[in-house]
Structure 1
Amino acid sequence: MTDPKTWLRKNPQVRTIRVAACDLNGQPRGKRVPSRFAHKVVEDGTRFPFSALNLDIWGEDIDDSPLVFESGDRDGVLKPTERGFVPMPWLEAPTALLPIWMFHEGGKPYEGDPRHALAQVVNRYKRHGLTPVVALEMEFFLIDDSTRKLQVPVSPRSGKRRKAAEVLSIRALDTFDIFFTDLYDACEDMDIPADTAISEAGLGQFEINMMHQDDALRAADDAWLFKMLLKGLARRHGFAASFMAKPYEDYAGSGMHMHFSVLDEEGNNIFDDGGPKGTEVLRHAIGGCVNAMHDSTLIFAPHLNSYERLIPENHAPCGISWAYENRTAAIRVPSGSPAARRIEHRVAGGDVNPYLLMATILGAALNGIEDEIEPPEPITGNAYAQDLPLIPTDWESAMDAFEASDIMPRILPQELIRNLLLTKRQEQLYMTELSPLEQVEIYLDTV
């Protein structure tokens, strides 16, 4: 990381900065600061209430949260993360973002901060001499939301609107070539390791894969920053981009699949046995993920709309299973070089908080490794046609499973679990007052 003060000196064109932390819904919460006062944030941090990381999807306080009136709405101290400044190329004026995370007054990490939750899991791996290597597949929609009916944006090249799903279509990518060129340039500026782009099965749906890296916190940062970048840059191009799980009823929704392997202290992949099956440790990691899948569904599907995606035979797993090279299973072990043997966790929607996603999956896998949990036998064939145990397929059931779980407190801090449940219960209450169109409108721009 470049020293933040050095970065500011080298970029005198930046007149304002944003300082932002990630709340439980993945929303950036923070402040705008003139760059001439940025050194104060770099040196001393900044302050805002603990409750600011525990707001609902509308940005409102949680009515019964102990963080608000009961405690006097006390401040936390927010300090820069290891990332340092990154440019914000979707804004017109030269601007930089300084990611921050929350601490108590004496320096103790605030356990309601999702980035700290992931850091705790990574530290558990370190105590075993292990390092997770992770990558995310980022699926999203480009949408014309200029009218009340969501549509594919008009092609900047032809002026036409092509209303069809185009799986792996070069033409679909070329249609938005200027946008994707700007997007990759911006990823380069922000040091986000965006790799391959493809068109997907939904209307105006695309996927960009992130490169594998051995720093899970940085990988989650990349995903969080990429979401901000994509949505902001799309607006500059005259349309919307959204990670909403299911904007179109008749087409597949967006997922955020996570791939991971684990290295030992010598840099060896502990899932690699030199063949296609993988090691016993691989099976134990899968066993931990399978064991936690039901109780952790609220992390993978955190919003009301998330459950519109979890429909059998619609490219989203509902049954709890694993398999070798089988995309109908919830957990897939891809084929390929044994040195790259890894797990692909396929349950989460695109609307998730990437820090909580990584913390939950990596924490569940480590539970399996520590406890030597044996998974069920891998399935073969179509998972949708098999009699499998199911994850919760509605929001309330997922909340109930999360709340009753004795697995989740081993993965996530108790304060974060409490805060997330309070948030989701409040959102559930107010979502029932909205029409389906109003629900889509709030999710389209937020998640």
Structure 2
Amino acid sequence: MDNWLKSNPDIRAIRVAASDLNGQPRGKRVPVRFADKVIEDGTRFPMSVMNLDIWGEDIDDSPLVMESGDRDGVLKPTDRGFVRMPWLDTPTGLMPIWMFHEDGRPFEGDPRHALAAVQQRFTDLGLTPVVAVELEFFLIDDSGRDLRVPVSPRSGKRRVAGEILSLRALDQFDQFFTELYDACDSMDIPADTAISEAGLGQFEINMMHQPDAMKAADDAWLFKMLVKGLARKHGFAASFMAKPYEDYAGSGLHMHFSVLDKDGKNIFNDGTERGSDALRFAVQGCLAAMPGSTLIFAPHHNSFDRLVPGAHAPTGVAWAYENRTAAIRVPSGAAAARRIEHRQAGGDVNPYLSVAAVLGAALNGLEDRIEPPAPITGNGYDQDLPQVPGSWIKAIDTFETSPEIARIFAPGLIRNFTMTKRQEAKYMEELSPDERVEIYLDTV
């Protein structure tokens, strides 16, 4: 890491940041001349900081605050090392960090450690998940009372329409996307194809598949910071909130994954379109955990505006081959690339928790070896299917008591996340719809 600073002598400031349970970066600005100390010794801040609500406030009655004396955790650099922050005027390096106890034990309330624990379960079985995510987001002019599509820098016009796969929509913001791809290159984020989506000013960028689930989650977390920061540099907002516009589709974070054995072979591939027994066992694990996981995939009040029938956000617990109305889709294509697409999560998720929930559920299924129900055909929204929790409160309760979730996440993280969401749900009820949009627009 010290070599990175020597190779980038223009860097004038550094940030150290960890992800809290809401995916918010929490950390410090450190002068470059003190970087060696942070690299070698880490830094410290209260454990409770990893468990703040969406407003950045302590959780009432949390055992991490007064009960424990609001004690510090030790935050150490991750193996990601420094990345640039190209959206800032000052040349700045960001060093991702994660939290440990004083004695070196991982802090179980850190979402990155939650994913590390799931990844270790795969490693212990000689397996490696290969992961890619698709991130949808909105470009928004939030300078006035109502949210609008930004004025195109090219035409000076606002195009008030969803434009699916429109090159014109991409071209309207060509400079923004050119800078975004350049920034991804500088941050080692494997951004692939960009498309315009169905919502107003909505776009999607896919990440390349990679055999490192942690890096995939790191990339998604950093990408969200980058897109929001770069948009502000261009004079508008970018948001991953689930549903900013009532009459248009919301944003998702779809995750594709396969699993390699110790010889590098895809265990979901049996040479047929149907896929292997392992694929179906993993599907069943994802289906069984879906009700309990809904709070991970829909963590905010606004998330449930997206989870409505017919809006490209699945509400039924079902799977299918090559069918986007199902929550779990098995895409067609070459048998060697047989994989699962999990479609329930919104764009407003914490990537570490979302990736951990999907992979942990799949691993539950691989361990249990239970066949799923038959795949559906046709429009899943028109079928009598088991449903995910339909409200935030129900999702909180289901998450807290789910036996599938207890196999994936540590008890402390389940407790902390539940307390966080109950506090947010309480105070969100006091806000108007416009006030809720305002808080979610910039945070998630």
TM class, shorter-chain normalised?
A: over 0.9
* Residue 4 of structure 2 is aligned to residue 26 of structure 1: no
Match of 2:241 among 237, 240, 244: 244
Find the aligned partners of 2:138 and 2:420 in 1 and give their Cα distance. 26
SS at match of 1:99: strand
SS at match of 2:258: strand
Find the aligned partners of 1:13 and 1:176 in 2 and give their Cα distance. 29
Which amino acid is 1:73 matched to? D
Alignment of 1:297-376 (within 5 A): 297-376=294-373
Residue in 2 that maps onto 1:288: 285
Aligned length: 444
C-alpha deviation, 1:13, in angstroms:
1.1
C-alpha deviation, 1:237, in angstroms:
0.4
* Residue 192 of structure 2 is aligned to residue 195 of structure 1: yes
Residue in 1 that maps onto 2:411: 414
Which amino acid is 1:415 matched to? G
Find the aligned partners of 1:170 and 1:20 in 2 and give their Cα distance. 36
Residue in 2 that maps onto 1:427: 424
C-alpha deviation, 1:9, in angstroms:
1.0
Find the aligned partners of 2:144 and 2:248 in 1 and give their Cα distance. 20
Residue in 2 that maps onto 1:134: 131
C-alpha deviation, 1:199, in angstroms:
0.2
* Residue 269 of structure 2 is aligned to residue 272 of structure 1: yes
Provide TM-score, normalisation by structure 1: 0.99
C-alpha deviation, 1:403, in angstroms:
1.2
Find the aligned partners of 1:284 and 1:430 in 2 and give their Cα distance. 40
Residue in 1 that maps onto 2:231: 234
* Residue 85 of structure 2 is aligned to residue 99 of structure 1: no
Which amino acid is 1:276 matched to? E
SS at match of 2:76: strand
C-alpha deviation, 1:374, in angstroms:
1.3
Residue in 2 that maps onto 1:40: 37
* Residue 394 of structure 2 is aligned to residue 397 of structure 1: yes
SS at match of 1:123: helix
Alignment of 1:173-192 (within 5 A): 173-192=170-189
Residue in 1 that maps onto 2:141: 144
SS at match of 1:295: helix
Find the aligned partners of 2:277 and 2:76 in 1 and give their Cα distance. 41
Find the aligned partners of 2:403 and 2:378 in 1 and give their Cα distance. 32
Find the aligned partners of 2:145 and 2:135 in 1 and give their Cα distance. 26
Q: Deviations over 1:3-30 (max 9, x none)?
A: x010111112111100000000000000
Provide TM-score, normalisation by structure 2: 1.00
C-alpha deviation, 1:416, in angstroms:
0.3
Which amino acid is 1:137 matched to? E
Find the aligned partners of 2:82 and 2:401 in 1 and give their Cα distance. 40
SS at match of 1:212: coil
Residue in 2 that maps onto 1:116: 113
Find the aligned partners of 2:153 and 2:9 in 1 and give their Cα distance. 34
Find the aligned partners of 1:202 and 1:13 in 2 and give their Cα distance. 39
Find the aligned partners of 1:315 and 1:417 in 2 and give their Cα distance. 29
Residue in 2 that maps onto 1:125: 122
Find the aligned partners of 1:160 and 1:360 in 2 and give their Cα distance. 42
Match of 1:219 among 212, 216, 222: 216
C-alpha deviation, 1:405, in angstroms:
1.1
Find the aligned partners of 1:112 and 1:69 in 2 and give their Cα distance. 17
C-alpha deviation, 1:214, in angstroms:
0.4
Residue in 2 that maps onto 1:63: 60
Q: Which runs of 5+ in 1 are unaligned?
A: none
Which amino acid is 1:429 matched to? K
Q: Deviations over 1:232-253 (max 9, x none)?
A: 0000001000000000000000
Match of 2:254 among 254, 257, 262: 257
Q: Which runs of 5+ in 2 are unaligned?
A: none
* Structure 1 stretch displaced more, 417-426 or 9-18: 9-18
C-alpha deviation, 1:375, in angstroms:
0.7
SS at match of 2:54: coil
- Once superposed, what is the RMSD of the aligned Cα atoms? 0.5
Find the aligned partners of 2:188 and 2:58 in 1 and give their Cα distance. 34
Find the aligned partners of 1:130 and 1:324 in 2 and give their Cα distance. 24
C-alpha deviation, 1:275, in angstroms:
1.3
SS at match of 1:137: strand
SS at match of 1:407: helix
C-alpha deviation, 1:178, in angstroms:
0.4
Q: Deviations over 1:300-336 (max 9, x none)?
A: 0000000000010011100000000000000000000
Sequence identity, in percent? 74
User: Runs in 1 of length 4+ with deviation above 3 angstroms?
Assistant: none
* Residue 161 of structure 2 is aligned to residue 167 of structure 1: no
Find the aligned partners of 2:53 and 2:371 in 1 and give their Cα distance. 38
Residue in 2 that maps onto 1:377: 374
C-alpha deviation, 1:78, in angstroms:
0.3
Which amino acid is 2:349 matched to? V
Find the aligned partners of 2:358 and 2:395 in 1 and give their Cα distance. 16
Find the aligned partners of 1:40 and 1:439 in 2 and give their Cα distance. 40
SS at match of 2:292: coil
Find the aligned partners of 2:142 and 2:92 in 1 and give their Cα distance. 27
Which amino acid is 2:430 matched to? E
SS at match of 1:9: helix
Find the aligned partners of 1:22 and 1:294 in 2 and give their Cα distance. 24
Find the aligned partners of 1:396 and 1:191 in 2 and give their Cα distance. 38
SS at match of 2:422: helix
Find the aligned partners of 1:303 and 1:281 in 2 and give their Cα distance. 33
SS at match of 2:118: helix
Find the aligned partners of 1:75 and 1:251 in 2 and give their Cα distance. 44
Find the aligned partners of 1:224 and 1:186 in 2 and give their Cα distance. 14
Find the aligned partners of 1:296 and 1:115 in 2 and give their Cα distance. 17
C-alpha deviation, 1:163, in angstroms:
0.1
